[in-house]
Structure 1
Amino acid sequence: MATVKTVLRKRKLAEGSYPISLRVCKDRKSKYFQTIFRAFPMEWNQAKGNFTGKNSNNIQNNRLLLKFKDRALKILSDLEMEKSDFTLKDFENRFRIIHNPVQQNVFYFWNEIMEEFIFAGRTGNARANKGCYNSLKKFNKSTQLNFKEITPSFLYKYEAFLRSRGGSDGGIGVRMRTIRALYNFAIERKIAKELEYPFKIYKVSKLKGRSLKKALTLEEVLKIRNLDLKKYPWLVNTRHYFIFSFYTRGMNFADMMKLEWKDTDQDKIYYKRSKTKGNFKIKIVLPVQEILNHYKEFAIDTKYVFPILLNNNMTPPQLENRKHKTLIRYNKELKEIAVICGIDKNLTSYVARHSFANCLKQKGVATDIISESMGHQNLAVTQAYLKEFDNSVLDDAIEILV
């Protein structure tokens, strides 16, 4: 005989409360189904499986919990009538997919996905999803939203909402791609129906960022490399990070942050790019060697090359938080360096990567070589990448005709 009870789980959440789940038992096996509720121990009666009077909304919450429990009991009753040897997996399929509107709630499912990202160490993905989650919740004015309600019309209205708040094509595209990925997860897990997929009509591809990426010329890079920072000692790390990134084929900030001394071997640097998981072996040229020498001389007691991660045993959320805070400061100080060097371009951490590709292009290096050096998966990616830059080569070619 199968039983159902609402229970307070033992896994403590960040704010000190505990999740409430339905526990279904059959044949001495148990399976838990998370509800939308959380509670502190003082708010929960474990024997009765309901909220106590100390919960501010205990009457309404207990009614909803009872509905969840009744729904589960009804499914169990139906399954027992159909076949007495049904399993908890049979119950789960019916409960999650057909009979659980809470599971079909967008924000409830989204929280599950973000928790999975955090558990897997993909804290950057979790943070990006959280930003989109908060934005959509503000537009929707509540957390009551099912996947079938995300229609093309809903997405067009959300796009208009984002534009009214100053959103650009690029920024809106990030939001929409996040929602599209969430919807795809929901389809894979049979929570949403592919038949109702709104992105067959609403095309995210129309939201490509159209702002021109302004890469630096080699002369501008050399201005930064040769800048005398005696008057600006607080900018030393920022200058080193930028020049190091440029001369290591545009190594991004996350990979620089986690670069360890053991990854450097005589005249080579070995690392795996976080974004694409591609393996890189990079020659240590003179500017890179000078920067490595600097950090060996002023090394802190960690395994890392750069003084960004201050201890060796940081958790994924701590790593993400440190990266986020340091990157904000890094980009702010890059703008100071641009002003000092007289560079009238929006200097950011990613400009080093853009500039590396652009400088190779200006020196006549073949696109396939640039593609391989940057670790792009195919030539089309590199061609699209280079097409966005200011093309002074074509400008010079036109001058011949004058």
Structure 2
Amino acid sequence: MATVKVKFRASSVAGKQGSLFYQIVHDRRVGRIRTAFRLFPSEWDAGKGCCRIESAIDPERREYLTTIQLRIQSDLERFDCMLTAFGQGGVTCGIEQLLAALSSPQPDMLFDFMQRLILQLRELNRIRTSETYTAALRSFARFRHQQDIPLAAIDGDLIEAYEADLRRSGVSRNTSSFYMRILRATYNRAVEKNLTPQRHPFRHVYTGVDKTVKRAISLESLRRLRMLDLRSDPRMDYARDLFLLSFYLRGMSFIDMAYLKCSNLQDGVLVYRRQKTGQLLRIRWEPCMQAIVDKYPLRHPDYLLPIFQNGLPDGRNQYKNRGHWINQNLKRLGNLLDLSGPLTLYCARHTWASVARSRDIPLSVISESMGHDSETTTRIYLSSLDTGMVDHANRLIIDTLSNETPE
């Protein structure tokens, strides 16, 4: 009877990741099946034949190791089923035939294919994209009750049923479209790799972007926020200051603020690349910005703002935790100001765009200032404001007509 074990082979280069492979022993002969999994020696438990998930400090690395472990378990279960079938069928074969059978192509499954894409994205350091793919996979897996499906079995009826299920569960139209676009990108990638024929299963589901609910606050509310005396509550004071700094920095997103290095500020100009698009932006450094930076001691010598803490991994977990903490306190501030909607860091970005538009700054300038790929994105930000401007103009016209003196 053949046996299968998972083995780790360390790299010959110190500090580099090693590789995992499956060792097949049959009739006293040994064969190997390679994998694409890469690990550091400290992340592999040779005695138990599994990943040391707890060895990773960074949550992203733990999730990566967890994904690998799930893939290993899936492969071992498949090998066990095939070997059992061989034994029950009385099939006799040599090590070469056995290796060929175990490594033969299996029906390409959606979950497995998406997990491989997620691993590749993480290896390319496209962390945010890998997180969106993970969210879409989890959503679809819940719909499928965790049952994987062959890529070739995906059709329009299945995707329409998934969309209907999302709607029944209360998911917004934009969120549903978000998941659909990721699944469609995954499916199209599989088509490019000739893993499934193109059946256009997403033809009859919504994959657009609806106008979002207005997230900007009024200029008057922004002034009230700036004038609040928050010395008695340092947490809300800090949250307010980060919100204002985002506004001063032309609506800079929080992730871009978090990763600003001291070296990004040179000769009165802040130069940085957007984390989302890689676009290079320049912002003149103003006294109001420096006043906020001077107000707080740096928590990390390399970073411009007091967000990352020195001595801890500079991973996305620090950025996420700090952002969540700030938004909690901003919501408290929003309640204090009696705002109609929740106040979040993202509102600063919408507010800057809205104020800029109300000052008749051209749309092209606003789009360039915010680092948008196109003016279409900027229009989504400003859709609710533009409607209000049109209504105001209409009122002026009506008032002009009403006040006009007959000749």
The answer to whether TM tops 0.5 is yes
1:77-156 matches, cutoff 5 A: 99-101=105-107, 104-156=108-160
Is the contact between residue 33 and residue 99 of structure 2 (CA under 8 Å) also seen in structure 1?
no
Is the contact between residue 272 and residue 278 of structure 1 (CA under 8 Å) also seen in structure 2?
yes
Structure 1 stretches lacking a partner, 5+ long: 13-17, 24-29, 45-54, 79-91
Closer, same or farther: CA 379–111 of 1 in aligned 2, 3 Å = closer
Closer, same or farther: CA 277–189 of 1 in aligned 2, 3 Å = same
Aligned residue for 2:8, secondary structure, equals coil
What amino acid maps onto 1:377 in structure 2?
D
Structure 1 position 228 matched with structure 2 position 229: yes
> Which residue number corresponds to residue 313 of structure 2?
314
Partners of 2:212 and 2:83 in 1: how far apart?
A: 50
Aligned residue for 2:345, secondary structure, equals coil
1:188-337 matches, cutoff 5 A: 188-193=192-197, 195-199=198-202, 201-206=203-208, 208-295=209-296, 298-311=297-310, 314=313, 319-337=315-333
Is the contact between residue 21 and residue 32 of structure 1 (CA under 8 Å) also seen in structure 2?
yes
Partners of 2:390 and 2:109 in 1: how far apart?
A: 53
Structure 1 position 157 matched with structure 2 position 155: no
Superposition deviation, residue 100 in structure 1: 2.3
Partners of 2:285 and 2:222 in 1: how far apart?
A: 18
What amino acid maps onto 2:305 in structure 1?
F
Structure 1 position 350 matched with structure 2 position 346: yes
1:361-400 matches, cutoff 5 A: 361-389=357-385, 391-400=387-396
Q: TM-score, normalised by structure 2?
A: 0.74
Is the contact between residue 271 and residue 281 of structure 1 (CA under 8 Å) also seen in structure 2?
yes
What amino acid maps onto 1:223 in structure 2?
R
Q: Provide Cα deviations, 1:120-155, integer angstroms capped at 9, x if missing partner.
A: 222222222222222222211233311122211111
Superposition deviation, residue 107 in structure 1: 1.0
Aligned residue for 1:397, secondary structure, equals helix
State which of 185, 192, 199 in structure 1 corresponds to 2:189.
Answer: 185
Is the contact between residue 238 and residue 330 of structure 1 (CA under 8 Å) also seen in structure 2?
yes
Superposition deviation, residue 66 in structure 1: 7.2
Superposition deviation, residue 180 in structure 1: 1.3
> Which residue number corresponds to residue 81 of structure 1?
none
Is the contact between residue 235 and residue 333 of structure 1 (CA under 8 Å) also seen in structure 2?
yes
Q: TM-score, normalised by structure 1?
A: 0.75
Structure 2 stretches lacking a partner, 5+ long: 11-18, 25-31, 38-43, 50-72, 87-91, 400-407
Closer, same or farther: CA 257–42 of 1 in aligned 2, 3 Å = same
Is the contact between residue 243 and residue 287 of structure 1 (CA under 8 Å) also seen in structure 2?
no
Superposition deviation, residue 382 in structure 1: 2.6
State which of 37, 50, 63 in structure 1 corresponds to 2:81.
Answer: 63
What amino acid maps onto 2:80 in structure 1?
N
Closer, same or farther: CA 266–43 of 1 in aligned 2, 3 Å = closer
Q: Provide Cα deviations, 1:15-56, integer angstroms capped at 9, x if missing partner.
A: xxx966488xxxxxx872469xxx975677xxxxxxxxxx9x
Is the contact between residue 299 and residue 306 of structure 2 (CA under 8 Å) also seen in structure 1?
yes
Is the contact between residue 21 and residue 34 of structure 1 (CA under 8 Å) also seen in structure 2?
no
Structure 1 position 166 matched with structure 2 position 167: no
Superposition deviation, residue 398 in structure 1: 2.2
Moved over 6 A (4+): 57-60, 66-70, 74-78
Partners of 1:66 and 1:19 in 2: how far apart?
A: 24
Is the contact between residue 215 and residue 355 of structure 1 (CA under 8 Å) also seen in structure 2?
yes
What amino acid maps onto 1:63 in structure 2?
C
State which of 7, 10, 14 in structure 1 corresponds to 2:8.
Answer: 10
Is the contact between residue 265 and residue 271 of structure 2 (CA under 8 Å) also seen in structure 1?
yes
Q: Provide Cα deviations, 1:272-306, integer angstroms capped at 9, x if missing partner.
A: 111111111101223212112223xx223421122
What amino acid maps onto 2:81 in structure 1?
R
Aligned residue for 1:305, secondary structure, equals coil
Aligned residue for 1:239, secondary structure, equals helix
Closer, same or farther: CA 393–34 of 1 in aligned 2, 3 Å = closer
Partners of 1:31 and 1:146 in 2: how far apart?
A: 23
What amino acid maps onto 2:276 in structure 1?
K
> Which residue number corresponds to residue 32 of structure 1?
34
Is the contact between residue 299 and residue 310 of structure 2 (CA under 8 Å) also seen in structure 1?
no
Is the contact between residue 338 and residue 347 of structure 1 (CA under 8 Å) also seen in structure 2?
yes
Is the contact between residue 354 and residue 385 of structure 2 (CA under 8 Å) also seen in structure 1?
yes
What amino acid maps onto 1:32 in structure 2?
R
The aligned length equals 347
Superposition deviation, residue 76 in structure 1: 9.3
Partners of 1:231 and 1:5 in 2: how far apart?
A: 67
Is the contact between residue 302 and residue 312 of structure 1 (CA under 8 Å) also seen in structure 2?
no
Is the contact between residue 243 and residue 352 of structure 1 (CA under 8 Å) also seen in structure 2?
yes
Partners of 2:127 and 2:386 in 1: how far apart?
A: 34
What amino acid maps onto 2:378 in structure 1?
T
Superposition deviation, residue 77 in structure 1: 8.4
Superposition deviation, residue 251 in structure 1: 0.7
Is the contact between residue 334 and residue 348 of structure 1 (CA under 8 Å) also seen in structure 2?
yes
Partners of 1:11 and 1:67 in 2: how far apart?
A: 30
Sequence identity (%): 25
Closer, same or farther: CA 65–283 of 1 in aligned 2, 3 Å = farther
Superposition deviation, residue 336 in structure 1: 0.9
